[in-house]
Structure 1
Amino acid sequence: MDDLPPQLLLEILSRLSDSADLARCRVASKTLNCLAPEVRSVNLQCSYLRYAKSRSHPTSVYMTPFKSIFSKLISDSRTVDSVSIGVDRPLRLVSYDDVEDEDDLFLTEANFVNSWLPKVCRHLRSLSISDFWVQSCWRRSDVLSLISSHCRNLVELEIKNAWLSADFVTPMAYLTTLTLEFIRLDDENLEKVNECFPSVQVLNLIGVGGLKDPKIHLAKLKTLCWTLSNAPLSITVIAPNLVKLKLKCVKPHVLVIETPLLSGLHLSLEGAGDFKVKELNYLRKLHLESSALRNLLVKFPFGRIVKNLTVVSTKWEVPVGVTKSILELLLSAFPNVGSLTLTPGIWSELEMCPSLGDLESKTQMKDVKEITAYVTVNDIEVTVFTIFSILDHCSNISYIAIFIHRDVVSNVTSSLISRCMAYSSKVRWKWGMWKEGTKDAWICDSF
C-alpha cells in the first residue's frame, strides 16, 4: 500500500462512502493517516448497532460519543466541500422511552452545529443533516439561520427529521437544491422558503408539517417533489420554469398550479374543491392518483395534450349507475394518449364494466399504441374478454405489457399468455409479475 502514489491513495480514500472506514484506515497505516486530512468529504452515520451499544451498560463506558467522533473528523480535515451527518433509518423506529433527556444524537442542535460549521463553511458546497427524531422533535432548532449566515457558497442542502425555526434566515443566493424531509417547519405559508432560497432549481418537501396555506413561488425552480403531511386549506405552486412536478396531498379546498412549462406531472390527491390550473401547453406525461378518480377527471382542462398517462385508483368500489367504463372516461378526458398504464384498481373496475361503447370510443382509441396493465385474474374468461375487447378497439396498438399478480397459479398464467399471443400476433407482448410491496419482474416477451 505504501508503494502506491499518494494521489492514487488519496483517490481511494475519497471514494470511501463512510468516514468511519476512513478512520479505520488512519489507524491501520501511517501513510493513510497523513493523507486522510486531504479528503474533501465527511460522511458519518450512526448505526442502530452503535446506538444500542451506547445505551447498554456493559458497553456504554467504552463508547466515544457520536458528536465527539464527528467533531474530531471535521477538525482534522483541511478542506471540506461536502458534509453528511445523520442516523440510519432503523433508528426511526426507536421509541420515545428514556431518551428525552439525551442529546448526543440531537444533530441540529444550534450549539453543536456552531461548534464545527464555521470551520468548514468557506469551501462547503453540500451539507446533509439527518437528525434523530425522538431527540429533535420536541426541540426547535435555529440551524437554518446558522447555515444561511455561514455558508455563503452552499449549493445543496438537505435536512431530515427536525423541528426548524425560520427566524433570522438570510438569503442563500447560490443554493440550487433544497431537501426538507419529515420536518416540522415554523413557516406556515412558506414565505421564508420563497424569500431566502431564490435560486433553488430542485426542491424536495417530503412530509413537511406545520403548513397552513403554503405557496411555492420560485422563479428558477425546475423540479418540485412535494408531499404534504397535513391538510392545508389551499396549496399554490407558481413556478414559470418548472418542468417536473410531483405533488401528493389530501383534499385541499383550493389547489392552484401555475406552471406554463410543465412537461411531467405526478398528482396524488383525493380531490380539490376549487381546482385551478392555468394553460399547460407542454404537458406530455401525467401520473394521476386518487380515491375519487372519476370525479377528478372532469377537472382537468389540459387532457388533450397528454401523451403518456398512468392512472391509479386508491379506493376502488363498484360504480353504481355507471354506463361508461373507466377506460372510456379516461380516453374521453385524454383523447390523444399514446401510452397508457392501467394499475390494479383501474383494471379491476374495467373488468366489472368492460364495455367500450360504440364507434365513438374506437375513434377515441386510435392513438393508443402502448398499454401496460396490472391484472389479478380472478376469472380468466373475464380477463381474456377485457384484453380482447381492448385489442379490437385499439387498431394501432403495437405493444402490450401485462403484469400478472404473483399469487395467480402458474397454469392460469400460462393459459392467459398463450391465448392472448394467439389472438394477435402483430402486437409485441411482454409479460411480467407484480405483488404489493415487491418489485415487478419480467417473465417473457415476444416479437
Structure 2
Amino acid sequence: MDDLPPPLVLEILSRLGDSADLARCRVASKAFNAHSHEVRSVTLICTLSRYLKSRSPETKHQVTPFKSVFNNLVRHLRCVESVSIGVEKSLAGLSYDDVDDESDDLYLTDAGFVKEWLPRVCGELKSLSVSDFWIQSCWRRSDILAHISASCQALLNLELRNAWLSVDGLNPMQMLRSLTLEFIRLDDENLNKFNQCFPCLQHLNLIGVGGLKEPSIHLCHLKTCRWTVSNAPLSLAIVAPNLSKLDLKCIRPSSLVIETPVLSDLFLSLENPSKFKIEYFTDLENLRLESANLFGLIGLFPQCTSTRRLTVDSLKCTDIVDVKMLSLEVLSNTFANMRSLGLRSGAWSEMERCFRTCHVQSQNKITGLKEITAQLVIQDLDVTLSFIFCVLGMCINLSDVALLIHRDVYPDVASNLISQCTAQHPKIRWKWGMWQEDSEDTWVSDGI
C-alpha cells in the first residue's frame, strides 16, 4: 500500500465519505498518513450508535468526544475547501424524554466551538454545512452567522440545519451563491437582514424556518428558490426579477405576492388561496399546483399561454366548504397551450366527481393536449371508464396516456379497466402502473 503513486493515494483519501475513516487510514499506512494532510474536504457525521455509546455508562469512556475528533481532523489539514459536520438523521427521532441532561457535546452551532476550528479553514473555504442536534440547540441561540460572515470571505455554499440562529453581527456575504436553512428558528422576522446580507444569492432553500412574521424575499440575482412555510397565517412576498424556478409550500397565507416575471418552473402548494397577487407569466412552461380549493387557485391565475406541462392535485381539508369542483374544461381554458397534463389522485377524484355530478359532456374540443398522466381512484369502474372515455373524446389529438392504478384495487378490476381502454382506443399509446400513498409510482408495462 505504501508503494501506491501519491496522486492515487490522495484520490483514495479524498473519496472517503466519512472523515473518521481518514483518521483510521493515518495509522494504517505511512503513505496514507503522509498524504492525508493534503485532503481538501472534511465530512464528519455523528451516528445514532455512536451517540448511544457515548451515553451508556458501560461504553462512554471508550468514545472520544465528537468535537475533539473534528478539531483533530481539521488541525492536520493544510488547505480545506469543504466542511460538512452534523448528526445522523436518525438522531432527529429522539425525543426530549430520551435525554435528561443539558449536554452541549453535539451543540455544533455553538459559537465557542466554531471559533476553535473556523479560523483554521476559513481562508479557502468554499462550502460549509452544519447539521445540529436539535435537542441541544433549540434552546440555545447561536451567533454562528456572525462568525461565518466575518471570516469566510470566499464561501460560496452554506447549509445550516436544526438550530436557533441570531442575525446580530451578520455581515454582507458578497460571494455566497447558495444558502440552505432547514428546520431553523431565525431571529429575523421579516427577512430584512437576510436580504441585506445575501445580495448575490442565486439558490435559496428555506425549509421549515420559524420565527417569521411577514417575511419578504427581495433578491435580484436569485435563480432558484424552495420555500416550505410551516406556520400560518403569514403575509409572504417574493420579489425576484431573475428567478426561474420556484417551489413554494404554505398553508393559508394571509396574503401572497409573487413578482417573478421570468419564472419558467413553478410548484405552488397551499390549502386555500385568499389574498393572492401573481404577475402575468410569459415564460412559465412547467406548473404544478396543489390546493384544497384547486378551482379557486386556478381562477386567480391569469391566462398562462406559455404553460406546456401542468400537474394538479387537490388536497384534503375538512374545514373548507362550498368549493367548486375542477373540470378538464376549466384547465384547458386557463392553460390553453398545455401539451402535457398530470392529474394526481386528489385532482382525478375531484374531476371524476364533477363528471359524475354534472352528467354533461363538454362540446369543446381540446386540440393541443398530447399526453396525460393520472393516478386513478377507482370506486365505480363504470364511472371511471366513462370519465376516461369522456376525456379521450374531448382531447382529439391525445397520443399518450399513462394511468396509475391504486395498489389496493382488485386485480380483476384493474385487468378489466386495462382491457376495455386498450380495446376502445387502440391508437393510443398506453402505459400502466401502480401508485400508493407516500410511495414512489411504479410503472409495470408499456402498452401499444
Aligned residue number for residue 247 of structure 2: 246
> What corresponds to 1:56 in structure 2?
56
**Which residue, out of 356, 361, 364, partners 2:364?**
361
- Give identity over the alignment, percent: 55
1:32 and 1:322 mapped to 2: Cα distance?
67
With over 3 angstroms needed to count, the CA separation of the structure-2 counterparts of 1:322 and 1:55, relative to structure 1, is: closer
Tell me the distance in 1 between the aligned counterparts of 2:23 and 2:404. 47
- Alpha-carbon contact 1:256-1:275 (below 8 Å) kept: yes
In structure 2, relative to structure 1, the CA distance for the partners of 1:394 and 1:146 (3 Å cut) is same
Residues 79 and 113 from structure 1, CA distance in 2 versus in 1: closer, same or farther, beyond 3 angstroms? same
1:193-212 counterparts in 2 under 5 A? Answer: 193-212=194-213
The whole-number CA distance in structure 2 between the counterparts of 1:322 and 1:220 is 38
* Stretch of structure 1 that moved more, 329-338 or 196-205: 329-338
Partner of 2:228: 227
Alignment deviations for residues 396-429 of structure 1 (CA, whole Å, 9 cap, x no partner) = 0011000111111222222211211111122111
Equivalences for 1:126-141 in 2 at 5 Å?
Answer: 126-141=127-142
Q: What is the match of residue 117 of structure 2?
A: 116
Give me the whole-angstrom Cα distance separating, in 2, the residues matched to 1:223 and 1:293: 25
CA contact 2:239–2:259 (8 Å) conserved in 1: yes
Contact 2:361 2:390 in 1 (8 A): no
Tell me which residue corresponds to 2:5: 5
Alignment match, 1:213: 214
Tell me the equivalent position of 1:33.
Answer: 33
- The match for 1:424 is 425
Counterpart amino acid of residue 371 in structure 1:
I
CA offset at residue 99 of structure 1?
Answer: 4.5
> Does the residue aligned with 1:303 lie in a helix, a strand or coil?
coil
Q: Gaps (5+ residues) in structure 2? A: none
Q: Is the 8 A contact 1:99 1:135 kept in 2?
A: no
Native 8 Å contact 1:228 1:248 kept in 2? yes
Q: Distance in 2 between matches of 1:89 and 1:277?
A: 37
Q: CA deviation at 1:21?
A: 1.7
SS of the residue 2:332 aligns to: helix
* Separation of aligned partners in 2, 1:359 and 1:111: 68
Distance in 2 (alpha carbons) for counterparts of 1:423 and 1:435: 27
Deviation at 1:384, TM superposition (A): 1.3
Q: Distance in 1 between matches of 2:43 and 2:326?
A: 53
Aligned to 2:275: 274
| In structure 1, distance between residues paired with 2:325 and 2:193 | 47
Distance (Å, rounded) in 2 between the aligned partners of 1:351 and 1:279: 30
Q: Which residue does the alignment assign to 1:85?
A: 85
Give the letter aligned to residue 95 of structure 1.
S
The one-letter amino acid of 1:63's match is: V
SS in 1 for 2:24: helix
Question: Taking structure 2 as the reference length, what is the TM-score of the superposition?
Answer: 0.95
Say if 1:197 and 1:20 are closer, same or farther in 2 by CA, change over 3 A. Answer: same
Per-residue deviation, 1:302: 3.9
Question: Following TM superposition, by how much is the alpha carbon of 1:328 offset from its aligned partner in structure 2, in angstroms?
Answer: 2.4
SS in 2 for 1:64: coil
**Distance (Å, rounded) in 1 between the aligned partners of 2:67 and 2:57:** 19
Structure 2 counterpart of 1:397, which letter?
L
Q: Distance in 2 between matches of 1:441 and 1:293?
A: 26
| Superposed counterparts of 1:151-166, under 5 Å | 151-166=152-167
CA spacing shift, 1:422–1:273, aligned 2, 3 Å: same
| Mapped contact 2:288–2:312 kept (Cα < 8 A) | yes
Superposed CA deviations along residues 345-398 of structure 1, whole A, max 9, x for unmatched, are 111122223268555532xx2211110000122222221111111111110001
Q: Would you say the 8 A contact 1:324–1:357 is kept in 2?
A: no
> 1:191 & 1:309 partners in 2: Cα distance?
34
CA apart distance, 1:285: 1.0
1:43 corresponds to which letter in structure 2?
A: T
- Check whether the contact 1:292–1:315 (CA below 8 A) recurs between aligned residues: no
Q: Distance in 2 between matches of 1:414 and 1:12?
A: 53
Which deviates the most, 172-181 or 93-102?
93-102
- 1:322 to 1:42, Cα distance in 2 relative to 1, 3 A: closer
Distance (Å, rounded) in 2 between the aligned partners of 1:303 and 1:260: 12
Return 16-25 or 139-148, whichever deviates more.
Answer: 16-25
Q: For structure 1, which segment, 280-289 or 230-239, has the greater mean C-alpha deviation from structure 2 after superposition?
A: 230-239
Q: Secondary structure of 1:13's match?
A: helix
Separation (CA, whole Å) in 2 of partners of 1:358 and 1:438: 34
Alpha carbons 2:373, 2:402 under 8 Å: kept: yes
For residues 62-81 of structure 1, what are the alpha-carbon distances to aligned partners after superposition, in whole Å with 9 as ceiling and x for unaligned?
Answer: 11100000000000111110
* One-letter amino acid matched to 2:280: E
Q: Does 1:179 align with 2:180?
A: yes
Paired amino acid for 2:2: D
Paired residues of 1:231 and 1:252 also in contact (CA < 8 A): yes
Instruction: Tell me the residue number matched to 1:47.
Output: 47
- For residues 158 and 193 of structure 1, what CA distance do their matches in structure 2 show? 14
Distance 1:334 1:391 in 2: 18
Structure 1: which 5+ residue stretches go unaligned? none
- Matches of residues 393-408 of structure 1 in structure 2 within 5 Å? 393-408=394-409
Q: Residue deviations 1:149-179, cap 9 Å, x none?
A: 0100000000000000001100111100000
- Size of the alignment, in residue pairs? 444
C-alpha offsets along residues 81-139 of structure 1, whole Å, 9 cap, x if unaligned?
00000001110111113355100000000000010000100010000000000000000
* Post-superposition offset of 1:323: 8.8
CA contact (8 A) 1:205 1:226 kept: yes
Structure 2 CA distance, aligned partners of 1:398 and 1:11? 50
Q: SS in structure 1 opposite 2:310? A: strand
Q: Deviations over 1:310-360 (max 9, x none)?
A: 11111178x998997522222232222211111111111222232685555
Q: Distance in 1 between matches of 2:180 and 2:130?
A: 10
Q: Deviations over 1:243-297 (max 9, x none)?
A: 0001111111211111011001100112333211122111111110011112222
SS across alignment from 1:208: coil
Give the SS at the match of 2:386: helix
